[in-house]
Amino acid sequence: MKYSAIAAATAAIFAMTGLSAPALATGKMTCEAGPQSGWKTRTALEASLVAQGWTIKKSKVDGGCYEVYGTTPDGDRVEAYFHPVSLEKLLVLRRGQELYRKK
Number of domains in the chain: 1
Residue 92 CB neighbour total at 10 angstroms:
19
Decide if 63 is inside a domain: yes
Q: pTM of whole model > 0.85?
A: no
The pLDDT tens digits for 34-58 are 999 999 999 999 999 999 999 999 9
Determine the longest span between alpha carbons in the chain, in angstroms. Answer: 49
Residue 36 within a domain = yes
pLDDT of residue 88: 97
Question: Does 19 map to a domain?
Answer: no
Q: Is 53 domain-assigned? A: yes
User: How far apart, in whole angstroms, are the C-alpha atoms of residue 48 and residue 33?
Assistant: 19
Residue 15 maps to a domain: no
Q: Is residue 6 scored above 60 in pLDDT?
A: no
Q: For residue 32, is it within any domain?
A: yes
Q: Does residue 18 lie in a domain region? A: no
34: in domain: yes
Sign of the Cα torsion 71, 91, 61, 23 reads positive
Domain residues for 60?
A: 25-101
